[in-house]
Amino acid sequence: QQPVQSPQAVILREGEDAVINCSSSKALYSVHWYRQKHGEAPVFLMILLKGGEQKGHEKISASFNEKKQQSSLYLTASQLSYSGTYFCGTETGNTPLVFGKGTRLSVIA
């Protein structure tokens, strides 16, 4: 079951914050976040496991609400380099990652 990401696209000015959401109708074991620049490979950002703590990576952090089967990715004080498409991938057990359709983030000067 493909997770649902929102918003589909967002435009930010440098220094602004953004939140990207990922939700599933199934009970999740883990949520994985990736960023992909156009024509390049998805790059791993972080993984959140059921029962685990909120993760952080520089100015990018994420949370996982197990009760709601939702995860949110927080980007603070955005930089031009944050531009790209963000994908969440979800696991419901020993199954392959299923990715959402992505959120296109554009950071402008």
Where along the sequence are the contacts to another protein (CB under 8 A)? 2, 29-30, 32, 34, 39-44, 47, 49, 87, 89, 91, 93-102
- The residue assigned the tokens 């496991």 is 49
Closest approach, Cβ 61 to another protein, in A, equals 17
CB closer to another protein, 32 vs 107: 32
- The residue assigned the tokens 């944050």 is 82
CA atoms lying within 13 Å on the CB side of residue 28: 31
CB closer to another protein, 81 vs 94: 94
